[in-house]
A and B are shown apart, each in its own frame.
Chain A
Amino acid sequence: MEPKTLYEKLWSSHLVREEPDGTALIYIDRHLVHEVTSPQAFEGLKLAGRAPWRVHSIVATADHNTPTDHWDRGILDPVSRQQVETLDANIREVGALAYFPFKDERQGIVHVIGPENGATLPGMTVVCGDSHTSTHGAFACLAHGIGTSEVEHVLATQCLLQKKSRTLLVQVDGALPAGVTAKDVVLAIIGRIGTAGGNGYAIEFGGSAIRGLSMEGRMTVCNMAIEAGARAGMVAVDDTTIDYLRGLPFAPAGADWDRAVTYWRTLHSDDGARFDKVVRLDASQIEPQVTWGTSPEMVVPVGARVPDPAEVSDPVKREGIERALKYMGLAPNTPIGDIPVDQVFIGSCTNSRIEDLREAAAVAKGRTKAGSVKRVLVVPGSGLVKRQAEAEGLHEIFIAAGFEWREPGCSMCLAMNADRLEPGEHCASTSNRNFEGRQGAGGRTHLVSPAMAAAAAVTGRFTDVRTMQGA
């Protein structure tokens, strides 16, 4: 038999039909729903008099608009509140496999709660009206973000209209140096291939460095596949995947578990499978990364300097760098370590899981927030992550360091709630996008790992975490 890539296996096992021009209908196993991109879809469904196809595919939560403090006061912004209440009403009317509403103990960021509850399983197709759905590919799922029209399409038909993507293998071999994390790996990948490098591709992340990552680390890498332009990122199943899933609430049990595991063991690219493109990175050469500009590809190692546009010949690129430096308030050739940090955000669907919080706490332990840093927010990805962190005493480390320990949600990754930057503030952020205004109008985002964010919080600038004791 012809060797197949993981993507080809997932694609062909979900193919319902294919038109002569390659437009295909693929079956959707899991539909994650949140409050921002679903109201118009539910409304459209209702207006057309259509019923949802399989409500048991739906797992829903409110995460983008929800506040991260003073939950007793509810949602103060009336527009945000209306959106969350609209989700409540829609799920009440339609139904779902599971709904974790605002204040529920299992509420959280949709890309954190799916995996931690076992609602994301290897071999599934997973969609959500959210570009960071690529996260779930860490479980060898075909998972990607969709628009609201497609949310409605999946609700109504349990299928998605798709064309097959090309395949890109990103192979990361070697041992990651101490202090270098999954976040640094994916930022280094984006720095290499660019934010459009994955356009039209499904990326498989492979190699010994990826296999050596925990599921949390793999989720961080797949989460940012979209920042490389690829709708979907994925990692093959191995023991790490299966060990993570065992015993989770929605994972199969008993004979079903054994049967599932037998199938899941087939979810890898076969030896000799052909990819349309292959990119290789040497893990031992990756250093802690910091973005300096307004696109995730504008990234350098912590010991480097911001670039000088005068050295760039392509006029569109040069103007892009000039515009980014102006927005970021940075002069060409500034050492990254000289950039002062005003706020720190530890959270988001990229880096808010228990392992991320442990990494940040290891750096924060016994240290305190630098006086020049106005605020450090630590926002766990879900109620379950929060509970686990508190059981381990991580919250006490953060609070002792002068960090704020918050309730779960998307928070300052996109600043739809009250957590945001003031114009001109520099933020060391563990989130995924450093676009203009992303964390608040005029805010200046620098993407880093949780350990690097904590290091910035206690030193007031970007500091190489490898030089800090205890990290």
Chain B
Amino acid sequence: MEPVKIVDGLAVPLDRANVDTDAIIPKQFLKSIKRSGFGPNLFDEWRYLDQGEPGQDCSARPVNPDFVLNAPRYKGARILLTRDNFGCGSSREHAPWALADYGLQALIGPSFADIFFNNSFKNGLLPIVQPAAVVDTLFAECEATEGYRLVIDLAAQTITRPGGEVLGFEVDAFRKECLLNGWDDIGLTLRHADEIRAFEARRRIEHPYFFS
């Protein structure tokens, strides 16, 4: 994974609650056995007017002009503003793969679904929780201001708004280190292989029926 330190980019507001991972990347694209190439089908049913199928050339498809990601002013956005419970539903990691492949690097919202939240960190996508009132303000400012950019500094745990105001945010120390360094957490876990082996040996004696 590439390290994530600073996200400096255009924000795009997706103003709906309970956005599920089926909406983020519909099921027909889950047939792929790759991790990449999901960006063109991000939010497929909202983004296009026709029905998407795997392997299509999306550049030739009719786009939905009413969908916010299609507005020219949000082209090249790096930060997605979200509402409550973003990423609910299916555990498909194809959802963060699609968001990242599209070019998004951070999400800011009042709450995220647990599995999606976890999956995002594994893919260099930073989900940031902010109080609902702050998120309301960011939505209002973003919608009112063309070219609305935010600067997220992960090391300092700050979001800087265009006027220079700075917001703080919380992030787990472990996840932060992994993102800043681009660490692969399997490698980190395997540093504790002896402890895992010792635990497993004890468990095998105590509960042999779990190992048959």
Contact = CB atoms under 8 A, between A and B. Distances in A.
A159 B189 contact: yes
A298 to B, nearest CB: 10
A39 B184 CA distance: 18
A383 interface: no
A145 B83 contact: no
A18 B144 CA distance: 46
Contacts of A27: 196, 199-200, 203
Most A Cβ at <10 Å: residue of B55, B92, B189: B189
Contact of A320 (B17, B89, B118): B17
A200 interface: yes
Given A40-B34, A80-B31, A259 B209 contact: yes
B192 A16 contact: yes
A158 B26 contact: no
Contact of B33 (A19, A40, A157, A436): A40
A19 B89 contact: no
A152 interface: yes
Contact of A161 (B23, B185, B190, B193): B185
B174 A23 contact: yes
B16 A319 contact: yes
Interface string A156-169: 11110101000000
Nearest to A86: B33
A129 interface: yes
Contact of B18 (A22, A230, A257, A295): A295
Interface in A10-43: 16-17, 19-23, 25, 27, 29-30, 36-37, 39-40, 43
Interface string A103-131: 00000000000000000010110000111
B83 A316 contact: yes
A153 B45 contact: no
Interface in B80-96: 83-85, 88-93, 96
A437 interface: yes
Contact of A323 (B16, B172, B175, B199): B16
Interface residues of B, number: 60
A316 B55 CA distance: 36
A319 B18 CA distance: 12
Contacts of B118: 146-147, 150
Interface in A181-205: 195-196, 199-200
B22 A29 contact: no
A252 to B, nearest CB: 4
Interface in A286-333: 295, 316-317, 319-320, 323
Contact of A437 (B22, B111, B184): B22
Interface in B45-87: 45, 51, 54-55, 83-85
Contact of A146 (B23, B115, B210): B115
Contacts of A146: 91, 115, 118
Closest 10 CB pairs of A and B: A252-B209, A147-B119, A147-B93, A39-B33, A149-B122, A145-B91, A196-B85, A131-B91, A23-B174, A148-B93
B190 A433 contact: no
26 contacts: A16-B196, A19-B173, A23-B172, A25-B196, A27-B199, A50-B186, A129-B91, A130-B91, A131-B89, A147-B96, A147-B118, A150-B122, A156-B186, A157-B186, A163-B172, A196-B88, A227-B89, A256-B212, A257-B209, A260-B207, A263-B207, A414-B22, A433-B89, A435-B23, A436-B23, A437-B45
B172 A37 contact: no
Given A27-B196, A27-B200, A147-B118, A256 B31 contact: no
Q: Name the residue among A147, A226, A260 with the largest chain B CB count within 10 angstroms.
A: A147
By size class, the interface of chain A is 35 or more
B141 interface: no
Nearest to A24: B174
A94 interface: no
A421 B26 CA distance: 14
Interface string A237-267: 0000000000000101000110110010000
A222 to B, nearest CB: 15
A396 to B, nearest CB: 33
Interface string B162-199: 00000000001111000000001110011011011001
A17 B192 contact: yes
A449 interface: no
A149 B119 contact: yes
Contact of B190 (A29, A157, A199, A230): A157
B30 interface: yes
Contact of A199 (B27, B89, B113, B186): B113
A56 interface: yes
Given A231-B114, A435-B22, A441-B26, A56 B211 contact: yes
Contacts of B93: 37, 40, 129, 147-149
A441 B44 CA distance: 10
B172, B174, B195 pick with most chain A CB within 10 angstroms: B174
Max chain A Cβ within 10 angstroms of own Cβ: one of B31, B111, B185? B31
A229 B45 CA distance: 23
A468 interface: no
Contacts of B88: 195-196, 229
A152 B114 contact: no
B28 interface: yes
Contacts of B186: 48, 50, 152-153, 156-157
B8 interface: no
A131 B51 contact: no
A437 B25 CA distance: 11
B185 A199 contact: no
A65 B28 CA distance: 10
Contact of A433 (B15, B22, B212): B22
Given A27-B200, A36-B30, A316-B83, A131 B189 contact: no
B20 interface: yes
* Residue of A27, A79, A263 most packed against chain B (CB within 10 A): A79
B41 interface: no
